[in-house]
Structure 1
Amino acid sequence: MAAPTPAPSELELDPKHDNYDFPTTPPRPQNGHPGYLTAQQQAQVHQLRLTLESEGYTERLDTLTLLRFLRARKFDVDLSKKMFVECEAWRKETNLDEVLPTWDYPEKGEIFKYYPQYYHKTDKDGRPVYIEQLGGIDLNAMYKITTAERMLTNLAVEYERVSDPRLPACSRKAGTLLETCCSIMDFKGVGLGKASQVFGYVKQASGLSQNYYPERLGHLYLINTPWGFSTVWNVVKGWLDPVTVQKIHVFGSSYKDELLKQVPAENLPKQFGGTCECAGGCQFSDMGPWREAEWARPAKWEKKADATIQTAPSAVTEGAGTSAAAPAVVEATDAAKADAAAPAAA
């Protein structure tokens, strides 16, 4: 039985780590979320932060981030700390913080011929919509264009861009805190011959999202699911947290009416029953509040990169033959794969 939602209260912010320029109150009361914490839950936030600080961690200790890790582990501080520490170790191993500001993925257009993965506008709650089309996946062909490591790096970079700037921009436009995405996974074209490749890859991707980007799933629509999928799903959902199960909706080819209840027709690409036809293709537009001047702001990681470049020693002060440079793009070499994107994390 779910714990009752506590009475609303002002979120206790930490002046050292909390510097939000977007709303921090969720659109509806939810136990364990900002503004709806018990005294014990608030104390657990402080305990987790102090424990991490005592072990030398200085980044990503803001209240909203810590709350996501705590919710993912049912407010067990020790388990939440373990999850956070493992995430930080992964970031270090993959050089993600150095990769992020300068990441370039020029092979995207070719990869999208096989596996479109993209964010496109918002649902009726104001959350980013994330879309994956699985039917064309051909890993052998894709690995002739890029590497598994670069695909993982790009997935992680897109998760980072969801955290900032996408979700903050959506929160500003909605006027409430938005921390999750609405994801659509299209299984059209996934037959028995492709099933092992598709599900193997999705399992890896889901691992990345669950382990390193918790509490990012708002809704997940599985559409055009193949024959027999519902039977499998009825077994699988018995292994999942009931809260997660409530977020996942499984449909065959008759999904459009249900999908349009959550995503406005003008925001949904035409091929999925909406009316949107972006110039150059919806999969390449990256349209959303994060592209609208009224709501968009530079991401914190962009500001840090700019500050690093601006304060770096000049070629003159460094000596002849040297020059300041932006961080090099370093490929992730040992990423666990989680949908973003399926980037959606429970």
Structure 2
Amino acid sequence: MTAEYEGSAPAGRVQSSSSASQQAGVFPNGHLGHLNAVQEEALGRFKAALQDKKLWRPGPPPSHDDQTLLRYLRARRWIVDDALAQFKDTEEWRAANNIDTLYRTIELDAYEQSRRLYPQWTGRRDRRGIPLYVFEIRTLDSKTIANYEKQGANSTFSQAKTDGKTPPGLLRLFALYENLTRFNQPFCTQLTDREHPDVPVTMSTNIVDISGVGLKQFWNLKGHMQAASQLATAHYPETLDRIFIIGAPVFFSTVWGWVKRWFDPITVSKIFVLAPHEVKPTLEAFIEPRNIPKKYGGELDYTFGQLGIPDPAWDGVVRWEKGYSSFPSGPLLWEDVPGEERLACVRLGAENGKLVREVICTLPRTWSPPERTVDESNQTDSSATTSTNTAATTINDASDGTQTTEDTLDEATQTEGPAEAIEKLALDDDDDKAKTPEVTPIPAATAAA
């Protein structure tokens, strides 16, 4: 899912050294505006199936945008029936737990407590303009998690109801996923200093630091991480591009044995463990040095726990309001500015039960969903009677061009380039068993939020 990069990108420009569009299975292949014929057909059939089940309305505006629907198709290897099943399960889960209400009414202190424990946005992006997150797992000890879950179960932190099945202590975590998909990714989509400004951003890049974490701590976190990971994998598919694990101890291969069952092969193929000598060259291949935290060999003065540091590239683009000069903690989303081609970032949530609403900033609308033509609309509506089973067979048989299996994703990372560490991402761990496995999954909570 990634391309290889070399050198520093020109000022004000995020660009890779090789054309991602020329590599099968590499961003932006399979994303809006870069679909092959089979993928286009899958999207059309998926919409028809969703509309038939009353799970999607074409609008305008549509109930769900194309980039969201494509996440489910990519996650399910373009098999429409499988994507339909996952989408249906997610919609039912969201409705049963009032996820939208949760995000809009969560107490700001409850949100901040979650934000400080889980992956945090640095305020920066990788070379393709995808948001960069950092996660230090050692902050999650068993006592902290027990207290976090207890507070979540015994307090009313939003106006949302629950289904009685999802652990209430975990629900606050999903406000962070909503922040990724409803604030951060749309924000990065509107920034044009990236290689493919025509493609909406729907993923994240993550640095996960597990240094200082012992085997006992991993074991004590097992139940919490398993529940969080499985829910996130099920309901927020295809929201990560790469996770780089740093500081893995020698026993991490033992942890991999019981963690790998929580993920599908596509997710596993995106998660890599870096040896100490690989950290700096690998991160620089994917991220400009100025956007890499100093702790990992970069130039960004960022420490885990602080809010994201505004990028100088935003100067002249983001117009801050009410004295703000950076994004605050809390649920944020974007709304149209009436009468202007601009979007407003609005902070929601609640303080002591009183709902909050304030405008943080505005920025120009530079990207909008492509308008559907009349012919396309008719084609979607008329295709509702087409068998999705036939579509699934066609897509599965013709999926060689989509390159979405674990093997082909690994092949995509083995392109020629100056960063030798990139090649090692896809190597077998046979020659390095005594260190750490080359491909090791971690909780899906690191993929977002």
Counterpart AA for 2:152:
T
2:86 to 69, 83, 86: 83
Q: CA RMSD in A?
A: 3.9
**TM-score under structure 2 length normalisation:** 0.55
Q: In 1, are the aligned partners of 2:142 and 2:217 still within 8 Å (CA)? A: no
In 2: Cα distance, 1:252 partner to 1:295 partner: 38
Structure 2 counterpart of 1:341: 445
Does 1:226 find its partner at 2:255? no
Structure 2 counterpart of 1:53: 51
Does 1:63 find its partner at 2:63? no
Map 1:114-263 onto structure 2 (within 5 A): 115-120=117-122, 121-144=124-147, 146-147=151-152, 152-173=170-191, 174=194, 175-177=197-199, 178-230=201-253, 233=256, 243-254=266-277, 255-263=279-287
Change (3 A) 1:218 1:296: farther
In 1: Cα distance, 2:180 partner to 2:170 partner: 15
Task: State the SS of the aligned residue for 2:241.
Answer: strand
In 2: Cα distance, 1:269 partner to 1:326 partner: 35
Gaps of 5+ in 1: 1-25, 307-324, 328-337
- Count of residue correspondences: 289
Map 1:286-301 onto structure 2 (within 5 A): 286-287=308-309, 294=317
Q: In 1, are the aligned partners of 2:203 and 2:241 still within 8 Å (CA)? A: yes
Change (3 A) 1:296 1:129: farther
Q: In 2, are the aligned partners of 1:220 and 1:248 still within 8 Å (CA)? A: yes
Task: State the SS of the aligned residue for 2:221.
Answer: helix
> Offset of 1:196 from its aligned partner?
0.9
Change (3 A) 1:156 1:33: same
User: Percent same amino acid among aligned pairs?
Assistant: 28
**TM-score under structure 1 length normalisation:** 0.69
Structure 1 counterpart of 2:409: none
In 2: Cα distance, 1:291 partner to 1:244 partner: 31
Once the two structures are superposed, residues 60-92 of structure 1 have per-residue CA deviations (whole angstroms, 9 ceiling, x without a partner) of 432211111111111111111110010011111
> Offset of 1:211 from its aligned partner?
0.8
Q: In 2, are the aligned partners of 1:180 and 1:217 still within 8 Å (CA)? A: yes
Task: State the SS of the aligned residue for 1:215.
Answer: coil
> Offset of 1:123 from its aligned partner?
1.6
Change (3 A) 1:201 1:85: same
- Of stretches 35-44 and 215-224 in structure 1, the one that deviates more from structure 2 is 35-44
In 1: Cα distance, 2:35 partner to 2:113 partner: 46
Map 1:274-313 onto structure 2 (within 5 A): 274-278=298-302, 281=303, 283-287=305-309, 294=317, 303=335
Gaps of 5+ in 2: 1-18, 58-62, 154-166, 321-326, 339-353, 357-441
> Offset of 1:340 from its aligned partner?
6.7
Change (3 A) 1:95 1:292: farther
> Offset of 1:184 from its aligned partner?
1.4
Change (3 A) 1:68 1:144: closer
Q: In 2, are the aligned partners of 1:118 and 1:130 still within 8 Å (CA)? A: yes
> Offset of 1:197 from its aligned partner?
2.2
> Offset of 1:109 from its aligned partner?
6.1
> Offset of 1:99 from its aligned partner?
1.6
Q: In 2, are the aligned partners of 1:206 and 1:344 still within 8 Å (CA)? A: no
Structure 2 counterpart of 1:17: none
Change (3 A) 1:106 1:293: farther
Q: In 2, are the aligned partners of 1:119 and 1:283 still within 8 Å (CA)? A: no
Q: In 2, are the aligned partners of 1:129 and 1:183 still within 8 Å (CA)? A: yes
Counterpart AA for 2:107:
D
Q: In 2, are the aligned partners of 1:220 and 1:344 still within 8 Å (CA)? A: no
In 2: Cα distance, 1:89 partner to 1:239 partner: 21
Q: In 2, are the aligned partners of 1:134 and 1:198 still within 8 Å (CA)? A: no
2:35 to 34, 37, 50: 37
- Of stretches 287-296 and 59-68 in structure 1, the one that deviates more from structure 2 is 287-296
In 2: Cα distance, 1:101 partner to 1:291 partner: 26
Counterpart AA for 1:70:
L
> Offset of 1:258 from its aligned partner?
2.2
Q: In 1, are the aligned partners of 2:67 and 2:202 still within 8 Å (CA)? A: no
Q: In 2, are the aligned partners of 1:170 and 1:295 still within 8 Å (CA)? A: no
Change (3 A) 1:240 1:209: closer
